[in-house]
């Protein structure tokens, strides 16, 4: 790496890593090769093993790239560095950490309503909701009698498979010649936010469709539609919690819901906040006269977690986009209304840079920043693998919110 920084000014300037987009807070010892990074199979750097001195080199390259981004070094220094043996790998690691930082910091709501699982490959996986065998109340076993036999039902399991999601973004050679690095350095952050939004939209479409609560999930047969589709109110929430609390699984066991999540569109956030943050509730006393009221401490604030999902009015584009609301039992590993699945080893998005496919007439491969043979463009790609399914309709209830 010494030759890489030969152009450094005599007065060395130390730039804290946190100043470089806060992406180098954790540098692990891993290893990778430039061939694995830029080969046509598109293998990334994140899971590869790096050498003992990798962290030190990465810190130096982070400072170097930060100086280029800030205009303290000319862009051609970056282009020259790309021709060295290890700089492209280190630069790609910086981009990858930018991607992860933006992905992890982007707002996320779906873990409040869906359980997260990992799958081993792209084949369909089967999922079984609770109450399909083995969980019914135990039978009395008489003396010297055989224990009654049970089995886990294998009928109508829920299935899904994960899929690849991604995008390419090219940058022209002219952009790099013009030293326009703003577009270049923003790509990882944009890709990270795009990956998170992909998850959010996918999860929302599991329980909502263009007309409101998903027509195949919230049905009369599943008994998970709040009676009368009330507007969001104290009375409506009481009814919803009664419907959710009355649920039983396939073997007749009660489904105990200790904590629930209230999911609303942005248009209902103020209403929901007012309900959950009220100091007390003023209710008509059951069995009393019209003039009798019950003043109670707001117990709802301890039983409900509020989630505002900005994707609801987008997914519910034609009906109930601003009125429909949902209750979900808190998801656990063995009990959830929805499941989001990710490919093992690829659970977070990855960024890739296209390998150059041209060669100078004088011989030798072109530099990474020289771009594509046909267009001279430098191309980045993001890949994210995910899937999911509707799992147990008895762990959620919904109201269209229009009183119909």
Range list of H helices, 277-340 = 300-303, 312-315
Residue 404 has pLDDT above 50, yes or no: yes
How far is the C-alpha of 391 from the C-alpha of 374, rounded, in Å?
A: 48
Residue 264 has pLDDT above 50, yes or no: yes
CB neighbours of 164 closer than 8 A, spacing ≥ 6?
383, 384, 385
What 8-state DSSP symbol labels residue 331? P
pLDDT at 341: 96
Q: Would you place residue 286 in the very low, low, confident or very high pLDDT band (cuts 50, 70, 90)? A: low
Beta-bridge partner residues of 213: 208
Query: What structural domains does the chain harbor?
Result: 13-105 (no CATH), 113-135+156-404 (3.90.1690)
Q: Would you place residue 297 in the very low, low, confident or very high pLDDT band (cuts 50, 70, 90)? A: confident
CB neighbours of 373 closer than 8 A, spacing ≥ 6?
357, 358
Average pLDDT over residues 47-67: 73
Helix (H) or strand (E) holding 311: none
Q: What is the pLDDT of residues 86-103, one digit of tens each?
A: 676 677 788 888 889 999
Of the listed ranges 268-277, 302-311, 346-355, 384-393, the one predicted with least confidence: 346-355
Residue 289 has pLDDT above 60, yes or no: no
Residue 403 has pLDDT above 70, yes or no: yes
Average pLDDT over residues 129-157: 76
CB hemisphere CA count around 346 (13 angstroms): 20
């Amino acid at each position: 790496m010494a030759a890489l920084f030969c152009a450094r000014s005599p007065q060395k300037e130390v730039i804290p890593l946190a100043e470089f987009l806060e992406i180098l807070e954790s540098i692990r010892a891993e290893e990778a090769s430039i061939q694995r990074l830029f080969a046509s199979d598109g293998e990334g750097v994140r899971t590869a093993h790096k050498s003992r001195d990798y962290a030190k080199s990465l810190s130096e390259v982070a400072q170097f790239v930060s100086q280029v981004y800030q205009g303290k070094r000319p862009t051609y220094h970056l282009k020259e560095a790309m021709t060295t043996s290890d700089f492209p790998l280190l630069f790609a690691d910086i981009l990858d950490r930018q991607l992860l930082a933006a992905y992890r910091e982007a707002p996320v709501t779906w873990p409040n309503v869906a359980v997260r699982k990992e799958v081993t490959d792209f084949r369909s996986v089967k999922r079984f909701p609770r109450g399909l065998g083995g969980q019914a109340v135990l039978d009395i076993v008489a003396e010297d009698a055989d224990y009654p036999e049970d089995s886990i039902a294998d009928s109508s399991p829920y299935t899904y498979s994960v899929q690849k999601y991604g995008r390419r973004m090219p940058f022209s050679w002219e952009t790099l010649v013009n030293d326009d690095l703003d577009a270049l350095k923003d790509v990882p952050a944009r890709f990270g936010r795009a990956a998170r939004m992909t998850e959010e939209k996918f999860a929302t479409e599991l329980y909502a469709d263009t007309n409101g609560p998903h027509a195949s999930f919230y049905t009369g047969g599943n008994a998970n539609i709040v009676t009368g589709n009330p507007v969001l109110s104290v009375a409506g929430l009481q009814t919803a919690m009664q419907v959710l609390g009355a649920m039983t699984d396939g073997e007749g066991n009660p489904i105990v819901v200790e904590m629930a999540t209230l999911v609303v569109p942005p248009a209902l956030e103020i209403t929901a906040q007012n309900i959950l943050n009220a100091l007390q509730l003023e209710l008509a006393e059951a069995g009393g006269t019209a003039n009798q009221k019950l003043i109670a401490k707001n117990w709802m604030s301890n039983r409900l977690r509020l989630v505002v999902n900005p994707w609801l009015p987008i997914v519910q584009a034609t009906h109930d986009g601003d009125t429909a609301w949902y209750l979900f039992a808190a998801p656990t590993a063995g009990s959830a209304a929805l499941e989001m699945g990710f490919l093992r080893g690829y659970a977070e998005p990855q960024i890739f840079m296209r390998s150059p496919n041209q060669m100078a007439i004088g011989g030798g491969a072109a530099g990474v920043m020289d771009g594509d043979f046909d267009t001279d463009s430098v191309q980045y790609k993001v890949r994210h693998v995910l899937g999911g399914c509707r799992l147990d309709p008895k762990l959620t209830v919904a109201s269209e919110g229009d009183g119909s």
